[in-house]
Chain A
Amino acid sequence: MPVEAPQARVANFNEVALGFDVENALVECERCLVCPEPACVAGCPVGIDIPGFICKIIDKDYRGAYDIISEANLLPAICGRVCPQEDQCEGVCPVGDTLEPVAVGRLERWVGDRAIEEGWHKRPYIEPNGFRVGIIGSGPAGVACAADLAKAGCAVTVYEALHEPGGVLRYGIPDFRLPNQVVDEEIGNLIDLGIDIRCNTLVGRLFTIEQMLDEMGFDAVFIGTGAGSPKFMDIPGETLNGVLSANELLTRCNLMVAGRFPEYDTPLHLGRRVAVIGSGNTAMDALRVTRRLGAEKVHCVYRRTEAESPARLEELHHAQEEGIEFHWLTAPVEILDDGDGNVRAMRCLRMELGEPDESGRRRPVPIEGSEFEFETDMVVYAIGTNANPILGQTSKLKLNKWGYIETDEDLATSMAGVYAGGDIVTGAATVILAMGAGRRAARSIKEYLGIRDSDIVYQPERSGHEGALFGIDGAERNFVRVRSA
């Protein structure tokens, strides 16, 4: 084992024995004979399965080695340092008859140190199955899929384009509905499951899905990039300053903390009289955020009635309680300029409900001659989203006519090993539906990779310490392989 030089060590209180590194440990483990009736286990006062943990190290399943040791001894880093191994396990090691005995104490210490470094005692142990899965997008669909696959033993890497993970949970849903600390905590739990989250990574542009499968060694890929490309209405005046999408408003406020400008660098330029177009959950968030930031008047403009509003009833009530004014049966037809490139007002039409349309809701029909001006200096579009185009632009994935990714009922895309779920498949929906899709895709990926969907991961037992004879496992010995006459 490496030690610090005496000249250096007399000047400090650092540990003298520096401990093994991975290479030392692996070389040392190879010296173990894995005796069928190990003397070392009998020599150990607490009976640690020494050949067992050494075999796990050889398998490079270090966490597995820690689990075997900690079954018998929860203080491996301490005992590995202070036990008199020469009188115990190492003293009876048959290798020691002719050579140095296997350095069991140092190996135990190495595993113990590693456990401290990695914080293993806090994490559930999952036996790795050797498969690598890449997840694109750290929103609800991506993290749900990642969690299920990680629990099954896959090595999971999640790529996120923004500089913080969480997707819509981070940039979209405001703190008063879902605090960012909660997102941090839950994502921290995923990282504790062993999931590797990498931000600032725009898949499609930095590397493609094809590269993930062909060059980066992923066995399967899940796409959960969300819909997220905001819709506008294509009416005059939409590029005036003061017109923005709910996505932009919420991203500026939630992810970039524009509400605390100039302490935070990202500005918002809040209007005095805000008009949010649309009446879904995103619209409610936009209304309530601008209200909290201090807009004098906040209006909701919707072309149908309260009964057709797609927002959750609770959200709608909260918004009403907070003093937001609702203008039902109202549709903007033009956004008007103040002469300096900013919004001054909207020209709107009054609507009435006609026959039901294909969605089953009664279609709003404009009332002729009902045009009026609606004074506002900030117009927020919350009328839905389109598919994000980046993965379509950069891969051969088959898309449907609206640009969403086409999948079969198992959420498999047109590329083998590539699955997709959430808004990028269905169009804008809810967090929980996206999570459901992520879990469904995880199940399909497990099937594709041939992993059984259960808590038990079947792996051939390493033949060795439990009394293998002639290369036949102990468990197998009861079967009649060679019958002697």
Chain B
Amino acid sequence: MTSQSTKTATGRGREPPKWRMGPASGAGFPIVDREDFSDATFRLEIDHPVMAKAAQPGQFVIIVTHDHGERIPLTIADYDRVKGTVTLVVQAVGKSTREMQQLCRPGTALYSMVGPMGQPSRIGEAKKVICVGGGLGVAPIFPQARAFKERGAYVISVVGFRNRDLIFWEDKFRECCDELIICTDDGSAGIKGLVTKGIAQAIEQHPDIDEVVAVGPPIMMKACAEATRPHGIKTVVSLNPIMVDGTGMCGGCRVKIGGRIMFACVDGPDFDGHDVDFDDLMNRLRRFKEEEQLALERWTETCRRLDMEPHTTTQDSGRS
């Protein structure tokens, strides 16, 4: 959107690469569908038949929107092996994700997408599970809930949103869950309160829960782990720390698990929630706070300037 809209700034002054960007032919990764759940959350469906075939619940991808972009890890929210597509749910919070919100439309393509990364979630022998998703974690918990259901488990899903307007995929969850508990912060739908309240309710009604799986912001996963600890229920969480390559090469994603250092990208992203040092994780997520703020301000400012001169840029500029 910024200086990237000019040809010279995009290519680091070099010719377009001769290598192929993906396992199949063609350049980029075409976006075939998009749905906006709210003013910040949206779903992208990306054409990638090889990945759609390989993806398992709990795995993630790393995407780059354009050749000046950063590598953004996103958990796979769904995949369709027949259509050959992979679904991602993105929350526009920082510069890169807001830029995605603006640029990623059907008919455009992502500059880069690699995956599926990380170890797939272990869909074990559990007979009764609670799948907890909070905020953005609602999307990635879905394939796990479905996988548990397909394995024959009794699945209770607890999903949390700020208010009723932000709810998405209620129908998809109802289809694959035996029970669905919706929690909203303001009580505008389901029960009023955080997902932990939903977990407490589920545990009360079902004393024989074998496993809890929680995906969401670290603070929520921490609360979930604390909620199940007194009951001694196995709790699996999916961590999404800052990372660069996602292949175990940079070590940026190291997390403390039971006092040992692990790489979330190759050892995880699923870990035993009772062993995770969440405070350490939350501190590490603040690592680039200043830079994130700066990038966002600079980007917002550029957008404002470009709004005044709407002809200087096109919708899909900044990507080659």
* A interface residues, Cβ below 8 angstroms from B: 159-165, 171, 180-181, 184, 187-188, 191, 196-202, 205-207, 228-230, 232, 234, 238-241, 244-245, 247-248, 251-252, 256-257, 261-267, 269, 341, 381, 388-390, 393
Kindly identify which residue among A160, A248, A265 contacts B252, using a CB–CB cutoff of 8 Å. Answer: A248
Q: Is the CB of A388 within 8 A of B54?
A: no
The chain A residue with its CB closest to the CB of B267 is A389
In Å, the complex CA distance between A213 and B248 comes to 25
Kindly identify which residue among A191, A206, A241, A248 contacts B115, using a CB–CB cutoff of 8 Å. Answer: A206
Contact digits for B98-123, partner A, Cβ 8 Å, 1 yes 0 no? 00000000000001111111110000
Q: Is the CB of A266 within 8 A of B71?
A: yes
Q: A202-B247, A265-B95 are in contact. Are A191 and B19 (CB under 8 A)?
A: yes
Q: A161-B245, A247-B251, A263-B3 are in contact. Are A200 and B23 (CB under 8 A)?
A: yes
In Å, the complex CA distance between A352 and B69 comes to 47
B207 within 8 Å of A by Cβ?
A: no
The chain A residue with its CB closest to the CB of B64 is A163
Give the one of B20, B50, B249, B291 with max A CB within 10 A. Answer: B249
Q: Is the CB of A201 within 8 A of B22?
A: yes
Tell me the smallest distance from the CB of A25 to a CB of chain B, in Å: 22
B71: chain A residues at CB < 8 Å are 163, 256, 266
Tell me the smallest distance from the CB of B76 to a CB of chain A, in Å: 11
Q: Is the CB of A161 within 8 A of B280?
A: no
A256: chain B residues at CB < 8 Å are 70-71, 244
Kindly identify which residue among A199, A248, A251, A388 contacts B112, using a CB–CB cutoff of 8 Å. Answer: A199
Q: Is the CB of B114 within 8 A of A251?
A: no
Tell me the smallest distance from the CB of B139 to a CB of chain A, in Å: 20
Q: Is the CB of A161 within 8 A of B70?
A: no
Kindly identify which residue among B113, B249, B255 contacts A229, using a CB–CB cutoff of 8 Å. Answer: B249
B23: chain A residues at CB < 8 Å are 159, 198, 200-201, 206-207
Interface size class of B (residues with CB under 8 A): 35 or more
B93 within 8 Å of A by Cβ?
A: no
Q: Is the CB of A262 within 8 A of B284?
A: no
Tell me the smallest distance from the CB of B253 to a CB of chain A, in Å: 10
B172 within 8 Å of A by Cβ?
A: no
Q: Is the CB of B54 within 8 A of A207?
A: yes
Q: Is the CB of A264 within 8 A of B68?
A: yes
Known: A163-B112, A198-B22. 12 other contacts (CB 8 A): A163-B114, A171-B245, A180-B12, A199-B21, A201-B114, A202-B116, A205-B59, A229-B266, A230-B250, A230-B251, A248-B252, A263-B2
In Å, the complex CA distance between A427 and B297 comes to 44
Give the one of A163, A197, A267, A388 with max B CB within 10 A. Answer: A163
B127 within 8 Å of A by Cβ?
A: no
Q: Is the CB of B291 within 8 A of A239?
A: no
Q: Is the CB of B288 within 8 A of A267?
A: yes
Q: Is the CB of A266 within 8 A of B70?
A: yes
Q: Is the CB of A241 within 8 A of B284?
A: yes
Q: Is the CB of B254 within 8 A of A198?
A: no
Q: Is the CB of A191 within 8 A of B113?
A: no
The chain B residue with its CB closest to the CB of A265 is B70
B276 within 8 Å of A by Cβ?
A: no
B205 within 8 Å of A by Cβ?
A: no
The chain B residue with its CB closest to the CB of A206 is B54
B231 within 8 Å of A by Cβ?
A: no
In Å, the complex CA distance between A225 and B23 comes to 17
A160: chain B residues at CB < 8 Å are 19
Q: A165-B19, A234-B261, A389-B266 are in contact. Are A341 and B286 (CB under 8 A)?
A: yes
Q: Is the CB of B286 within 8 A of A241?
A: yes
Q: Is the CB of A197 within 8 A of B112?
A: no
Q: Is the CB of B247 within 8 A of A198?
A: no
- 3 tightest A-B CB contacts, nearest first: A267-B291, A341-B283, A248-B250
B12: chain A residues at CB < 8 Å are 180, 257
Contact digits for B239-273, partner A, Cβ 8 Å, 1 yes 0 no? 00000110111111011100001010011000000
Q: Is the CB of B251 within 8 A of A248?
A: yes
Kindly identify which residue among B112, B254, B286, B295 contacts A267, using a CB–CB cutoff of 8 Å. Answer: B295
In Å, the complex CA distance between A265 and B41 comes to 21
In Å, the complex CA distance between A196 and B20 comes to 8
B288: chain A residues at CB < 8 Å are 267, 269
